[in-house]
Amino acid sequence: MRMPKGEWKVGTKDDYYVRTSAWSAPGCHPVGCGLILHIEDGKLTGVEGDKDHPLTQGRLCPRCLALPEVVNHPDRILYPMKRARKDRGKNTWERITWDEALDLIVEKVEETRERYGYEGVHTFGGTGREATFYYPVLSYSVFQSPNVSTVISGDSCYGPRCMITNFILGTGYPEIDHAAYFPDRYDDPRFVLPEYVMVWGKNPIVSNPDGFFGHALIDMMKRGTKLITVDPRITWLASRAEITLQLRPGTDTALLMAMLNVVINEGLYDKEFVEKWCYGLEDLKERVQDMPPAKAAAITWVPEEKIIRAARVFAQAKSASIQWGLATEMSQNAVQTCQCILYLCALTGRIDAPGGISVGPKASLTGKWRYEQIKWVNPELIDKRIGNEEYPVSKSALTNCLADTVLDALEEEDLKIGMVWINSSNVWSCPGAVPERWLAALSRVEFIVAQDIFLTPANMSVADLVLPVSTFAEHDGLVLPHFGRNAPYLGAINKAVEVGEARSDFETVMALGKRLNPDAFPWETVEEFLDYSVYGNGFSFDDLRKMGQFQPDYSYYKYESGKLREDGEVGFDTVTGLFELRSLQFEAWGEDPLPYYQEPTFSPYATPDLAQDYPLVLTTGGRKYTSFHSEHRQVPTLREIDPWPIVQIHPDTAAKNGISDGDWVCIENQYGSCRQKAKLTYAVDPRVVHAEHAWWYPEQDMELPNQGGAFKSQINNLMPHFMTGKLYIGSPYKCLICRVTKVSGLDD
Amino acid sequence: MAKNALLIDYEYCTGCHSCEVACRNEKSLKKGEWGIKLTEYGPLPLPGDKWDYHFVPIPTLRCDLCSNRVAAGDEPACVKHCLAFCMQYGTIEEMAQAAERLGNRVAIFVP
């Protein structure tokens, strides 16, 4: 099936095709992959790739291919449902109408405001999904509360990369240049193929992170791009890499400082760029003398000669880029890891160069509406935001509360949060460190609303009201890679079908907004809002539907043309106007302005006594093609492909511990334990194990206390609470210690 | 009539399972039934800091190379949706020529 040019819907009333761009629900990043949906008699019956999509060109991953199994799943939440507070954890849901649900919410919001003030309503949002556009709006514009957050400890997902980029070079998200802005892609004469891509702490072909279509990397490899991978595991990409740096989890900053040491001491840096556009080289040079490659080799387990070779190859390549992943943020050294990656890109002259690091504007294609909604919160309340008093970074650098401080607030004896809204977050089955504490803390809250497509451990255990979310096949909307911070295209999400009374995140926000703060929602229909969002580009939402995707133009070397600064001056949008190799902003916060290595709090070197009991380094969270975090566990075909959580163990380590391939094992440390199935593989070092995250079992008893086996395989049982870096950012999700022992099963 | 074949350039097969799910959709297959199934080898270390790690999807007896789709002018479902664009469809002769161009690590299946 191929959609005729300029059309987005063809066929008859009972049998038609709709072209759309994917986002969520079900959960995914904003890649906006191109799909053609087939609807027969009001039901989604088929999914095909859209060959006219500029990036995906007909290709689809198994999650989109299994979309009909999600949309038509018998366990979908189809209507608003409530239950008595005393029945939390029990399957005693009662179907109500949307009007009844909205009335109940308004009543509870007013009660909460009276008792605790506007700030007594807290909103949680799940990562990556379409909801990320609208849950902050729900908090600011609808509840007019400053209290909104994710659940992840140390805010260690994407936010730090954006924040650090903002202060060091003042741009949107730095992504590898993959010619995505150009209609004729790799053939555009302005584009230069990266000779090398360094893939740092990321497996993009599996995760399609934040809007980067991972297999674009394969397209470039076929054209000649070579890889350097930095990962504790031999991933498929590592197996195809020219240089594999298999480092000890959590030691990234040591490796980076050694590479900076080589690049600076051997004079391999781009002298013209550094002299003209960078601030602080001398200080950085002095600092990286602390980390000669031999020292880094002892820390990271990467041989000295490989560190030196990788640094030289990367610096001397005609064109090269780095793709940095979540792993850079999941240690207490996160800020410095991210800082060093940007420094390596800048010193080697890769910033905004063809085939280098593309940098986007801070917001694009849908205007500034989302960012301006904080105006509906009384400024005095901003100071009362959870954590603002004790943690100034939270106030000045983040647009949300630190999740750790929210858990602390929820555990306070004198609880000041009267109402919680959970938008598409499976709180303690997915990101939450200390999962049992999150359940206990949220159980104290007077009234909880949750939006999702399925019942999950989170909404089943603590919600008083659940609201159904529509899948992307069931609503109109917009999708922007990197949430607009470096968006090579804007895609139209087109409604193809209706299922139950499910509503999109925006539909729910607007319906409630019209009751609680109508001034913030001047639109009558969703389409009016979507028109308002895209008009700045000179077209309407209907025009965009017909285009499918809109690709804005791109220009390289924007710091030379004044396109990076609001005042139009050349340079970077930073305190000094330069790329800061020494960060004045970090210094103002009391952080070291220069990078430094910090050993993980728990490691064979930092805690040798503890390592007697827990001799293995534990890293977690590698992705599977068949799931998005805790989602898709109930989708038959995807679960058939990946039925159980897998912990990867080196065969020698397994033999020493009497573990065979396929055995259930207990993974345990000083904080807790969980059970996963062993896969023996040479992909990990004998001293390291890798465990999967966000596993639960929707086929099990969903009532409390079992709640879908939420704690049985949850690797975050082994995580500490609020153990972050100096700026309260970065938690050790990917660098803990553990032991593994054979057990007889999941429930042993 | 020339016999048709499926080519897998397994230097680039990333093991994404898209072929399996696209095929299941196309053939309306049930649990436990596959028209193409992924196999995995490795990763195993090789001398010279290299790694041997391969995925190869193998068509089963249920595969008819999507005769209905092809008759309607489309490609087989697995070929179209393959994330790595590492599958091709054509006559045995065309696939043999493609294999010669591609060089290493190519499999041709004649289901």
- Read off the pTM: 0.97
Residues 36 to 65 of B: which have CB under 8 A from any A CB? 42-45, 49, 51-53, 55
pLDDT tens digits, one per residue of A468-525? 999 999 999 999 999 999 999 999 999 999 999 999 999 999 999 999 999 999 999 9
Q: Is B81 in Cβ contact with A58 (below 8 Å)?
A: yes
Q: Which pLDDT belongs to residue A390?
A: 82
From the candidates B10, B23, B25, B39, which should be mutated to test the interface with A, based on the most A CB atoms within 10 A? B25
Q: What is the 3-state secondary structure (H, E, C) of A631-684?
A: CCCCCHHHHHHCCCCEEEECHHHHHHCCCCCCCEEEEECCCCEEEEEEEECCCE
Q: Which pLDDT belongs to residue A389?
A: 82
C-alpha span between A115 and B25 (Å, rounded): 54
Per-residue pLDDT, averaged over A439-460, amounts to 98
| Partners of residue A62 in chain B, C-beta under 8 Å | 16-18, 20-21
C-alpha span between A328 and A341 (Å, rounded): 9
Query: Measured between CA atoms, how close is A358 to chain B, in angstroms?
Result: 23
Would you place residue A436 in the very low, low, confident or very high pLDDT band (cuts 50, 70, 90)? very high
C-alpha span between A594 and A582 (Å, rounded): 5
The pLDDT mean for chain A works out to: 96
B68/A contact by beta carbon, under 8 A = no
DSSP A3: P
Q: Which tokens hold the place of A378? A: 């009384």
Query: Cis before residue A25, ω within 30 degrees of 0?
Result: yes
Q: Is A66 in Cβ contact with B80 (below 8 Å)?
A: no
Is pLDDT above 80 for A396?
no
Q: Which of A290-294, A388-392, A724-728 has the lowest mean pLDDT?
A: A388-392
Q: Given the structure tokens 């299941």, which residue do they identify? A: B24
Query: Measured between CA atoms, how close is B6 to chain A, in angstroms?
Result: 17
Q: Is B49 in Cβ contact with A65 (below 8 Å)?
A: no
From the candidates A59, A206, A223, A690, which should be mutated to test the interface with B, based on the most B CB atoms within 10 A? A59
B33/A contact by beta carbon, under 8 A = no
The rounded radius of gyration (Å) of the Cα atoms in chain A is 25
| Partners of residue A221 in chain B, C-beta under 8 Å | 12
pLDDT tens digits, one per residue of A204-260? 999 999 999 999 999 999 999 999 999 999 999 999 999 999 999 999 999 999 999
Angle among Cα A367, A371, A376 to the nearest 5 degrees reads: 120
Q: Which pLDDT belongs to residue B1?
A: 61
Nearest to A59 among B20, B25, B81 (CB): B81
From the candidates A215, A243, A305, A627, which should be mutated to test the interface with B, based on the most B CB atoms within 10 A? A215
| Partners of residue B22 in chain A, C-beta under 8 Å | 60, 65
Global ipTM: 0.98
Percentage with pLDDT > 90 across chain B = 96
Q: How many CB atoms lie within 10 A of CB A546?
A: 15
| Partners of residue A60 in chain B, C-beta under 8 Å | 18, 22, 81, 83
Q: Given the structure tokens 């199934």, which residue do they identify? A: B37
Q: Is A682 in Cβ contact with B44 (below 8 Å)?
A: yes
Is pLDDT above 80 for A93?
yes
Closest CA to A264 of A341, A336, A348: A348
Edge to edge, what strands does the sheet with A196-200 contain? A243-245, A226-230, A196-200, A320-324
Q: Given the structure tokens 């255990």, which residue do they identify? A: A461
Closest CA to A55 of A25, A26, A37, A35: A35
| Partners of residue A636 in chain B, C-beta under 8 Å | 31
Q: Which tokens hold the place of B34? A: 């596959």
Nearest CA in chain B to A60: B81
Q: Which pLDDT belongs to residue A364?
A: 77
pLDDT tens digits, one per residue of A9-37? 999 999 999 999 999 999 999 999 999 99
Is pLDDT above 80 for A737?
yes
C-alpha span between A698 and A714 (Å, rounded): 14
| Partners of residue A623 in chain B, C-beta under 8 Å | none
Nearest to A626 among B17, B22, B44 (CB): B17
Q: Which pLDDT belongs to residue A362?
A: 63
Would you place residue A363 in the very low, low, confident or very high pLDDT band (cuts 50, 70, 90)? low
Q: Which pLDDT belongs to residue A267?
A: 98
Would you place residue A388 in the very low, low, confident or very high pLDDT band (cuts 50, 70, 90)? confident
Q: Given the structure tokens 């590898």, which residue do they identify? A: A176
Nearest to A60 among B32, B55, B81 (CB): B81
| Partners of residue A59 in chain B, C-beta under 8 Å | 18, 80-83, 85
Query: Measured between CA atoms, how close is B45 to chain A, in angstroms?
Result: 7
Domains and CATH numbers, chain A: 1-74+471-499+522-554 (3.30.200.210), 81-155+370-469+504-519 (3.40.50.740), 174-359+563-588 (3.40.228.10), 608-742 (2.40.40.20)
Q: Which of A312-321, A374-383, A692-701 has the lowest mean pLDDT?
A: A374-383
Q: Is A62 in Cβ contact with B17 (below 8 Å)?
A: yes
Is pLDDT above 90 for A446?
yes
Per-residue pLDDT, averaged over A580-606, amounts to 96
Q: Which pLDDT belongs to residue B103?
A: 86
Is pLDDT above 80 for A393?
no
Q: Which of A76-80, A364-368, A515-519, B64-68 has the lowest mean pLDDT?
A: A364-368
Q: Which pLDDT belongs to residue A220?
A: 98
Would you place residue A371 in the very low, low, confident or very high pLDDT band (cuts 50, 70, 90)? confident
Per-residue pLDDT, averaged over B45-58, amounts to 96
B14/A contact by beta carbon, under 8 A = yes
| Partners of residue A65 in chain B, C-beta under 8 Å | 18, 21-22, 25, 81
Q: Tell me if A389 sits within 8 A of A89, measured CB to CB.
A: no
Q: Is A234 in Cβ contact with B51 (below 8 Å)?
A: yes
Query: Measured between CA atoms, how close is A59 to chain B, in angstroms?
Result: 4
pLDDT tens digits, one per residue of A398-428? 778 999 999 999 999 999 999 999 999 999 9
C-alpha span between A112 and A116 (Å, rounded): 6
CB contacts < 8 A, A to B, total 92
The sign one gets for the Cα dihedral A683, A688, A693, A695 is positive
Per-residue pLDDT, averaged over A173-196, amounts to 97
Residues of A at the B interface (Cβ-Cβ below 8 Å)?
1, 46-49, 51, 58-62, 65-66, 68, 205-206, 214-215, 218-219, 221-222, 234, 236, 238-240, 244, 625-626, 636-638, 640-641, 681-683
Q: Which pLDDT belongs to residue A675?
A: 98
Query: Measured between CA atoms, how close is A131 to chain B, in angstroms?
Result: 26
B80/A contact by beta carbon, under 8 A = yes
| Strand (E) or helix (H) holding A341 | helix A334-347
Is pLDDT above 70 for A315?
yes
- Helices A403-411 & A435-443 angle (0-180, nearest 10): 50
